[in-house]
C-alpha cells in the first residue's frame, strides 16, 4: 500500500507566465467512481494509461494504488464508465529536493493553475517558489474529482 501526502497551492499566473519551464505533458483523466471514502480514476499521459484508486483523505494524506493499463483500455473506460474528462498540461518543476507538479487546466477548467507537492511526512519543510500562491489543500473544490463535476468555469 502506498501513501500519498500532498499539498496543493494556487499558482500566480503573472509570475508563472514569465518563468522558464520544461516541456509539459498533456493529461486526460476521468473518474469512474467518486465518494468521500474513495475515488477510482483513469488517466492517459505520455502514451500510457493508468488506473488509480485513492482512499479517503485524512489531513493531507490518503492511500493510493496506481497501475499501468493499456491505452486502449483507458480510452474505453473513459468513454464508457466515466463522466466528463479533465484536460490539462502538467509541468514538473524541480525545487531543491522536491518536484512541484503544476497543472494548467484546459477545457471547462481553463484559467485554473494548481501546483502540488508530494511530501514524505505531513510536517515536512519545503521551499515555495515565487509563483506559489494561496494553499488550497483542504478546499475540496480544487480536487480533480470535484473539478470534473463542478468545473472552474461554473464558479462564481
Q: How far apart are CA 75 and CA 71, in angstroms?
A: 6
Q: Is 91 tagged catalytic?
A: no
**Mean pLDDT, each 10-residue run in order, the chain (156 residues):** 90 96 97 94 97 93 96 97 95 96 97 97 95 96 93 93
Nearest to 6 by CA among 115, 149, 147: 115
CA atoms within 13 A on the CB side of 46: 8
Nearest to 136 by CA among 18, 34, 10: 10
Burial class (CB in 10 A: 0-12, 13-18, 19+), 80: exposed
Instruction: List, in order of start, the domains of the chain with CATH numbers.
Output: 2-154 (2.40.320.10)
pLDDT, position 86: 97
pLDDT, position 1: 57
Amino acid at each position: 500500500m502506498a501513501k500519498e501526502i500532498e499539498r496543493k497551492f494556487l499558482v500566480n499566473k503573472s509570475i508563472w507566465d514569465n518563468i522558464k519551464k520544461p516541456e509539459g505533458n498533456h493529461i486526460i483523466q476521468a473518474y469512474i467512481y467518486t465518494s468521500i471514502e474513495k475515488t477510482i480514476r483513469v488517466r492517459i499521459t505520455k502514451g500510457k494509461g493508468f488506473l488509480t484508486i485513492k482512499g479517503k483523505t485524512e489531513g493531507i494524506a490518503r492511500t493510493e494504488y496506481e497501475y499501468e493499463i493499456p491505452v486502449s483500455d483507458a480510452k474505453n473506460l473513459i468513454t464508457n464508465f466515466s463522466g466528463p474528462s479533465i484536460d490539462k498540461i502538467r509541468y514538473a518543476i524541480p525545487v531543491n529536493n522536491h518536484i512541484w507538479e503544476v497543472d494548467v487546466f484546459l477545457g471547462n477548467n481553463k484559467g485554473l493553475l494548481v501546483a502540488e507537492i508530494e511530501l514524505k511526512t505531513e510536517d515536512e519543510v519545503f521551499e515555495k517558489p515565487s509563483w506559489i500562491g494561496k494553499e488550497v489543500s483542504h478546499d475540496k473544490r480544487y480536487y480533480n474529482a470535484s473539478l470534473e463535476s463542478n468545473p472552474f468555469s461554473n464558479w462564481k
